[in-house]
Amino acid sequence: MTLVDLAFAAAILAAVPALVYLYNLPYFCRLPKVDLHDNMSVSVLIPARDEENTIRDAVESVLFSKCVEVEVVVLDDHSTDRTAKIVQQIGREDERVRVEKAPPLPLGWCGKQHACHVLSQLARHEILVFMDADVRLEPSALKRSIEFLGHTQADLVSGFPKQVTESLSEKLVVPLIHSILLGFLPLDWMRRWRWSALSAGCGQLFVTRRPAYRKAGGHKAIKTSRHDGITLPRAFRKAGLRTDVFDGTDLATCRMYHGLREMWNGLAKNATEGMASVGALPVFTVFLLGGQILPIFLVAVSLASRQWPVLVCSGLALALSVLPRILSAWRFRQSYLGAMLHPAGVAILLAIQWYAFIRRLAGKPVAWKGRT
């Protein structure tokens, strides 16, 4: 294969996710403003394990919600810090908040899925909102999310909050959540058909109703999973139910990880149920390595050797690979620095996937918060 052939192949590999991304962007909508007069009753359920630095802001953001009758239930999942005490203090000042202690983790359960399962049994209202402790809601977020659940007639909806990034490694990698979602999953197909293979979601924010949750088996149906963002919508779809997603950039914020080490382990812990699964990893490796990383090297080689046909193809490939990332920086309020260094971010993401895959083959899954 000549350099021209390689550059042409890179352009094709970059074009496919770029075109899917552009096609998807209008379907990944922000939620419309709604009538903020009619109240709804909702249970906001927050699993928390060693979250003393985040739990207060999470709970208080829910309490500021407009036009919903809300209860906030925090499950202290055997924290070794002040998580429970902080929630207890809030609860003494606001009766809508209570903290419960998690029972011992049963054999064969992932900690988060067990915590959410227990929370679902403690909830008083029919509408259930599962929210991570590092999420901050805007006052209209719950009302608008519930309206979207009803308007779409879906049984489970998931919002993708604005991802807050501080360190360079976070800016490089975390925004790729949107690039992978919109670049590889046709959203209108997801809405048209209920195939479990079209499952998509964000584990940071789920909204459902109790009858649908029970029909799908709830978190018990995915008790061994560490990637509820994919597996919970898949469980709903396998039960014949509908799922949907929405752009939550203006409804919620979340800082997933703090620094490279935490981000690496956090993404690696559930990678083998997503991109790093046996079937998906070769496909993603070809597309990401060939269409997102290779073009920058081909551009450098073609400039050095003055091979202009190679430069044209590889330059096109590079532009196509970076275009979705720049659009994401604008649309989802992400880092423009991370967008300009896009190939480096993709290289780190791909390294994390292979790291997780190799560890799984070796029987050494990645630990997270003291659990494997």
Q: State if pTM tops 0.95.
A: no
Instruction: Kindly state the tokens that stand for 18.
Output: 């770029």
Report CA 215 to chain centroid distance, whole Å. 24
Taking a C-beta distance cutoff of 8 angstroms, is the pair 186, 117 a contact? no
Strand partners, 368: 371
| C-alpha closest to that of 170 among 363, 317, 3, 334 | 334
d(Cα 101, Cα 323) in Å, to the nearest integer? Answer: 47
Q: Helix 280-288 and helix 3-24: axis angle, to 10°?
A: 110
CATH topology of domain 27-256: Spore Coat Polysaccharide Biosynthesis Protein SpsA; Chain A (3.90.550)
> What spatial distance separates the first Cα and last Cα of the chain, rounded to whole Å?
44
* pLDDT computed for residue 62 by the predictor: 98
User: Side chain identity at 186, as an amino acid letter?
Assistant: P
Map residue 39 onto helix, strand or coil: coil
* pLDDT computed for residue 274 by the predictor: 87
Q: What is the pLDDT along the chain (372 residues), one digit of tens a residue?
A: 788 889 999 999 999 999 999 999 999 999 988 776 678 899 999 999 999 999 999 999 999 999 899 999 999 999 999 999 999 999 999 999 999 999 999 999 999 999 999 999 999 999 999 999 999 999 999 999 999 999 999 999 999 999 999 999 999 999 999 999 999 999 999 999 989 989 999 999 999 999 999 999 999 999 999 889 999 999 999 999 999 999 999 999 999 999 999 999 999 988 888 898 888 999 999 999 999 999 999 999 998 888 888 889 999 999 999 999 999 999 999 999 999 999 999 999 999 999 999 999 988 887 777 667
Map residue 318 onto helix, strand or coil: helix
Residue range(s) of every CATH 3.90.550.10 domain in the chain: 27-256
Percent of the chain with pLDDT over 70: 98
For 86: left if phi > 0, alpha if psi spans -120 to 50, otherwise beta; the answer is alpha
- Using a 10 angstrom Cβ sphere, with 0-12 exposed, 13-18 middle and 19 or more buried, the burial of residue 14 is buried
Taking a C-beta distance cutoff of 8 angstroms, is the pair 60, 86 a contact? no
* pLDDT computed for residue 51 by the predictor: 96
